[in-house]
Amino acid sequence: MGSTAGGPGAAPRAAPPPESLEEYGDFPTPIELARDILATLGPIGTKWSRVLEPTCGDGAFIHALTEHRYPPREIVGIEVQGDRFVGGPPKLSTPRTDVTVLNADILRADLRRLVKWKTKGPLLVVGNPPWVTTAELARLGAENVPAKTNSRNLKGFEAISGVSNFDLSEYIWVKLLRDLYPLSPSIALLCKTSVARNVVRYAQQERLSVYDGSIRMIDAHMWFGVSVPACLFTLHVGHGAPDYTIRVYDSLEAPLPSAIIGIVNGHLVPDVNRYQKVSSSEGTFPFEWRQGIKHDAAAAMELVLDDSDRLFNRLGEEVDVEPEFVYPLLKSSDLGSERPRDIQRRVIVTQHSPGDDTNRLRTEAPKLWSYLMGHKALFDGRKSRIYLGGPPFGMFGVGPYSFSPCKVAISGMYKKAIFRALGQVDGRPVMLDDTCYFVPTQDPMSAAVLAALLNSDPALEFFEAVTFYDAKRPVTKGLLKRVDLRSLWDQVDPSTAARRAALLVPGLRGAAAPPKERWPEDYGEFVRRVVS
Ligand SMILES: C[S@@+](CC[C@H](N)C(=O)[O-])C[C@H]1O[C@@H](n2cnc3c(N)ncnc32)[C@H](O)[C@@H]1O
């Protein structure tokens, strides 16, 4: 019998320190949920003789396992928070199940060495790893981070997820898959759906032999009080042909899947059947999608125009700067609304490209210079690495494209792909913030035609089939790049599209006059016109 951690109703233990909720992503699983999860997984002891709970906390899963009708023969739990052991080790073992709880850090331990199994047989890994991201940990100055950020695991993982910020549970998934791979475990963990998707991508890229994957949605708000799409994600490791399709069920109990996630043409898609119907719209988008501007100094840089044409910043101060540095601004919330209101937001743009030296403003725009100097602390306090070594009032995502008179724009945050055609406001090009993507065009008609194509039914169906709308930022540049504009051009009915385009043009803010042009005769000519 090994040492054991406290569990619900077990020996007293010190209350976890308040910061543990944050640093350790400590959302204990209600025992009822742990029981429901085991019921979903089936007769546990019949299928698996050994179970590992990799971050066992108070031991909700261990308790649910030992009292299960078909308990496993052996359970090992791992928990990093030493205070869980205060109050003496309660006896978690039962006549049917041997339980050992290890006080160890799963991020640093080599699981093959740490866990000394007393029994053999099929292995189930079940639990609920921490709900915290590495960025949140960095903010807390926490130590509960993967051992070496240059470790092979993490490097490989970053390369795949494309981000340096990820959920700790993603790292734990990867670690379990790597360390326990030779034991061919079944792994079933509660996690965010975004974590599950990244793990599928990882498994595919590493060619791991996994099969029979499923995502069963849970109500994270009801169980944990957090509004995030979450699930029980299960993968089985085997030695046969891998299968990276994942059945998605709307609940733990749902008898049939509502969709099947899979990797098609190198991309994870939310519903492979739906995707098959729109795959002809997948290709290469001919224009570059740009992201809006980023400055991280909203209090000083973002302004509002009042009814008497006076500008105020977010600090409530009236702002008087050279008007040629002030531009209309649209944010995600403006692009998402069906009827965009008059644009009253303004933004100060200090550069034409990120390399521009902002010191030139001292002579070129003395009023702006003195305003910026008055708020210099805001700029100096910007944490993002992108500003390091740059000019004092530098921005990001600014370039010649930012100043194009017309644009077709979309918010990265919205749950539906809605594209807006934008013209100038008061003769000034509209800027977008960095939650938005856009294609610059020189003339209103090109913007209108492009928006009509991107808002067409085949385009909408394509975006519905490839977008995970429960992601934090569902629409990304990577996704926008995949729509085959030529195919949309061929699929849409020109007269309907032309009517839509014509409707869009008067809506183009500031478009000088209604268009004389009609729907372009030829796709190639249209593309040349946008690019020019
Ligand atoms: C979301 S809670 C879940 C606890 C338990 N699995 C349950 O279902 O009730 C996450 C647990 O992971 C533990 N944890 C966090 N970082 C850890 C690490 N590096 N090694 C082991 N356990 C860790 C936390 O202390 C916490 O108990």
- Ligand 1: residue of 79, 103, 111 to mutate (most ligand atoms within 8 A of CB) is 79
Mean pLDDT of 513-521: 67
Mean pLDDT of 448-457: 94
Residue 437 · residue 459 · CB < 8 Å:
no
Q: Is the CB of 437 under 6 A from ligand 1?
A: no
pLDDT of residue 134: 72
Measure the CA–CA gap between 369 and 356, rounded to whole angstroms: 15
Query: How many Cβ atoms are within 10 Å of 490's Cβ, its own excluded?
Result: 12
Mean pLDDT of 198-204: 94
pLDDT of residue 338: 61
Q: Is the CB of 27 under 6 A from ligand 1?
A: yes
Residue 180 · residue 106 · CB < 8 Å:
no
Q: Is the CB of 85 under 6 A from ligand 1?
A: no
Q: Whose CA is nearest to atom 15 of ligand 1?
A: 24
Give 59 Cα–ligand 1 centroid separation in angstroms.
10
- Taking Cα atoms as reference points, which of 378, 412, 383 lies closest to residue 393? 378
Mean pLDDT of the chain: 87
Measure the CA–CA gap between 350 and 328, rounded to whole angstroms: 14
Give 92 Cα–ligand 1 centroid separation in angstroms.
18
- Residue 90 above 80 pLDDT? no
Give 143 Cα–ligand 1 centroid separation in angstroms.
14
Helices 168-180, 193-205: inter-axial angle, 10-degree rounding: 40
- Ligand 1: residue of 55, 80, 84, 172 to mutate (most ligand atoms within 8 A of CB) is 55
- Ligand 1: residue of 19, 21, 22, 24 to mutate (most ligand atoms within 8 A of CB) is 24
Catalogue the E-assigned strands of 39-140: 50-53, 74-79, 98-103, 123-127
Give 176 Cα–ligand 1 centroid separation in angstroms.
14
Residue 50 · residue 68 · CB < 8 Å:
no
Q: Is the CB of 62 under 6 A from ligand 1?
A: no
Which of 135-144, 177-186, 257-266 shows the lowest per-residue confidence on average (mean pLDDT)?
A: 135-144
At residue 8 the predicted structure's pLDDT band, cuts being 50, 70 and 90, is very low
Model confidence pLDDT, tens digit, residues 319-329: 999 999 999 99
- Residue 150 above 50 pLDDT? no
pLDDT of residue 474: 93
Give 89 Cα–ligand 1 centroid separation in angstroms.
18
pLDDT of residue 16: 44
DSSP one-letter code for 248? E
Mean pLDDT of 166-187: 93
Model confidence pLDDT, tens digit, residues 20-66: 566 677 789 999 999 999 999 999 999 999 999 999 998 999 999 99
Atom of ligand 1 nearest to the CA of 106: 20
pLDDT of residue 161: 42
Q: Is the CB of 107 under 6 A from ligand 1?
A: yes
Atom of ligand 1 nearest to the CA of 20: 25
Of all residues in the chain, the percent with pLDDT exceeding 90 is 68
Give 128 Cα–ligand 1 centroid separation in angstroms.
7
Q: Is the CB of 26 under 6 A from ligand 1?
A: yes
Measure the CA–CA gap between 355 and 336, rounded to whole angstroms: 32
Backbone torsions φ then ψ of 167, nearest 5 degrees: -75, 140
Here the tokens at position 150 are 């240059």
Mean pLDDT of 364-391: 92
CA distances from 281 to 218, 275, 452 (A): 33, 10, 15
Q: Is the CB of 144 under 6 A from ligand 1?
A: yes
pLDDT of residue 147: 56
- Residue 15 above 80 pLDDT? no
Which of 39-43, 368-372, 522-526 shows the lowest per-residue confidence on average (mean pLDDT)?
A: 522-526
- Taking Cα atoms as reference points, which of 311, 352, 345 lies closest to residue 328? 345
pLDDT of residue 141: 63
At residue 415 the predicted structure's pLDDT band, cuts being 50, 70 and 90, is confident
At residue 14 the predicted structure's pLDDT band, cuts being 50, 70 and 90, is very low
Q: Whose CA is nearest to atom 13 of ligand 1?
A: 55
Residue 33 · residue 189 · CB < 8 Å:
no
Atom of ligand 1 nearest to the CA of 107: 19
Q: Is the CB of 137 under 6 A from ligand 1?
A: no
Q: Is the CB of 29 under 6 A from ligand 1?
A: yes
Of all residues in the chain, the percent with pLDDT exceeding 70 is 86
Mean pLDDT of 154-182: 74
Measure the CA–CA gap between 402 and 420, rounded to whole angstroms: 16
- Residue 83 above 80 pLDDT? no
